[in-house]
């Protein structure tokens, strides 16, 4: 293994000079820098990560905690993770993958051993047991999702409340008066996943504001459940003409189910969804949707973390991305009755 002393000798300087040339923390003459760079290239030098971490108390590694639970759309998690990795690399950092299964002990482990400099935590619950820990940890963290009490924590998320409202407002603008929300699987609400509840709030608020008849229905992530949900909705709200779907897994089967029950989309029934754009656009009937910007969320999270690591004093605590609705083929004005 070639080390910094080898480079120093080869370039005719001291090890500290090589270190400063690499880090830029002290001025180095162009001439010297060039010699050092040449030596590094020639010898194929790579600084030892452990030695660096020990001496500088910086590992240049971020921890990313991903959820494993059911009811969470896997491609979204993946997109997010990839985006975090890509962004971290732009700032010369790497990403350590943790599963939620490891729990608080896992967070402690990687933080207290200085394996990582900072953490990104996904799938935050309204009353997440990890919050106190994250607050006391000596390393900064960014949460994806907003817990009930977010003070002192850096949080990033899509504004799901506004997303719910946006979907309803769109339907209202098209003249629909009776709407329903097909939500995430029941277990997601049971464990008080923040974003799911916010969608419900936004949906309800906007429906009330517009004087619409509305109902909310969680839905397990299976085609059979989708079909059952569609049947129940039509039975209980025969005048239903607008549906908001916040459940990636059943979006397609749900559309199919409605059509098999005799409703044409969008002629008889308008559908809007909150889901990744790729999914909405790829369906047989492309669905008008509010995008779930997983990649942007990942990027933002990583960037906020880098700012905090840089000691930036005014990193915003709350970052809510504004939802954007893309019109596709699943929405139309309500037919005159």
CA 200, CA 96: separation in Å to the nearest integer?
A: 34
The CB density around residue 62, as the number of other CB atoms within 10 Å, is 29
Q: How far apart are CA 318 and CA 155, in angstroms?
A: 5
Backbone angles phi, psi at 314, to 5 degrees: -115, 60
Q: Which stretch binds DNA (CB under 7 A): 42-50, 75-83, 283-291, 313-321?
A: 42-50
143 forms bridges with which residues in the sheet? 121, 155
Distance CA 244, CA 167 (A): 7
278 binds a copy of itself (CB under 8 A): no
Window contacting a copy of itself (CB under 8 A); options: 81-89, 129-137, 179-187, 326-334: 81-89
- Tell me whether residue 74 or residue 115 sits nearer to DNA (CB atom): 115
Q: Is the peptide bond before 266 cis (omega within 30 degrees of 0)?
A: yes
| Residue 159 host element (H or E) | none
- Interaction of residue 15 with DNA, rule CB under 7 A: yes
CB-based contact 270:174 (threshold 8 Å): yes
Helical (H) or strand (E) element with 20: helix 15-23
Q: Which is nearer to a copy of itself, 13 or 64 (CB)?
A: 64
CA-wise closest residue to 94 among 64, 66, 71: 64
Choice between 77 and 233, CB closer to a copy of itself: 77
- Contacting DNA (CB under 7 A), which of 56, 201, 260, 322? 56
Chain positions 223 to 262 lying near a copy of itself, rule: CB under 8 A, are: 223-224
137 binds a copy of itself (CB under 8 A): no
Could you say whether residue 32 binds DNA (CB under 7 A)? yes
Of a copy of itself, DNA, none, which one sits near residue 95, judging by CB under 5 to 8 A according to partner kind? a copy of itself
Instruction: Find the shortest distance in angstroms from Cβ 308 to DNA.
Output: 17
Q: Is 108 in the site for a copy of itself (CB under 8 A)?
A: yes
Q: Is 309 helix (H, G, I), strand (E, B) or coil?
A: helix
**List 40, 45, 87, 258, residue binding DNA (CB under 7 A):** 45
The residue with tokens 């569609």 is 230
Q: Residue 69: which of 187, 157, 194 has the closest Cα?
A: 187
Among 9, 52, 191, 228, binds a copy of itself (CB under 8 A): 52
CB atoms near residue 129 (< 10 Å): 9
Q: Does 55 bind DNA (CB under 7 A)?
A: yes
Residue 242 Cβ, how far from a copy of itself at the closest point, in Å?
A: 24
**188 and 145 Cβ atoms separated by less than 8 Å:** no
Q: Answer for the pair 288, 273: CB distance below 8 angstroms, yes or no.
A: yes
Q: Site map for a copy of itself, 28-47, x if CB under 8 A? A: ----------------x-xx
Q: Identify which of 217, 203, 196, 195 has the alpha carbon closest to the alpha carbon of residue 165.
A: 203
Q: By CB under 7 A, is residue 86 in contact with DNA?
A: no
By the rule CB under 7 A, 110 interacts with DNA: no
101 binds a copy of itself (CB under 8 A): yes
Which stretches of the chain bind a copy of itself, using CB under 8 A?
A: 44, 46-54, 59, 61, 64, 66, 68, 74-75, 77-78, 81-82, 85-86, 89, 94-99, 101-102, 108-110, 112-115, 222-224, 282-284
Which stretches of the chain bind DNA, using CB under 7 A?
A: 1, 3-5, 12-20, 22-23, 25-29, 31-33, 45-48, 51-52, 54-56
């Amino acid at each position: 293994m070639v080390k910094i002393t080898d480079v120093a000798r080869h370039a005719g300087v001291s090890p500290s000079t090589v270190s400063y040339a690499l880090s830029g923390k002290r001025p180095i003459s162009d001439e010297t820098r060039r010699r050092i760079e040449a030596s590094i290239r020639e010898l194929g030098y790579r600084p030892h990560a452990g030695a660096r971490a020990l001496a500088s108390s910086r590992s240049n590694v971020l921890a990313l905690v991903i959820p494993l639970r059911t009811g969470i759309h896997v491609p979204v998690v993946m997109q997010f993770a990839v985006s975090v990795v890509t962004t971290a690399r732009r700032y010369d950092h790497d990403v350590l993958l943790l599963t939620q299964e490891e729990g608080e002990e896992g967070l402690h482990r990687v933080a207290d051993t200085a394996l990582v400099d900072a953490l990104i935590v996904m799938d935050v619950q309204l009353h997440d047991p990890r919050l106190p820990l994250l607050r006391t940890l000596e390393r900064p963290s960014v949460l994806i999702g907003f817990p009930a009490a977010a003070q002192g924590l850096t949080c990033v998320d899509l504004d799901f409340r506004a997303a719910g409202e946006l979907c309803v407002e769109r339907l209202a603008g098209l003249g629909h008066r009776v709407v329903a929300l097909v939500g995430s699987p029941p277990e997601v609400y049971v464990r008080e996943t923040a974003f799911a509840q916010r969608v419900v709030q936004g949906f309800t608020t906007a429906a009330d504001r517009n004087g619409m008849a509305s109902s909310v229905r969680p839905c397990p992530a299976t085609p059979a459940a989708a079909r059952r949900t569609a049947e129940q909705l039509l039975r209980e709200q025969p005048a239903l003409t607008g549906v908001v779907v916040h459940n990636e897994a059943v979006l397609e089967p749900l559309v199919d189910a409605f059509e098999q029950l005799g409703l044409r989309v969008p002629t008889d029934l308008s559908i809007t969804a909150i889901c990744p754009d790729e999914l909405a656009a790829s369906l047989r009937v492309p669905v008008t949707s509010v995008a779930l910007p997983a990649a942007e969320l990942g990027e933002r999270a990583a960037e906020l973390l880098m700012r905090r690591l840089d000691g930036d004093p005014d990193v915003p605590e709350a970052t809510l991305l504004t939802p954007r609705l893309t019109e596709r083929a699943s929405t139309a004005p309500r037919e005159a009755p």
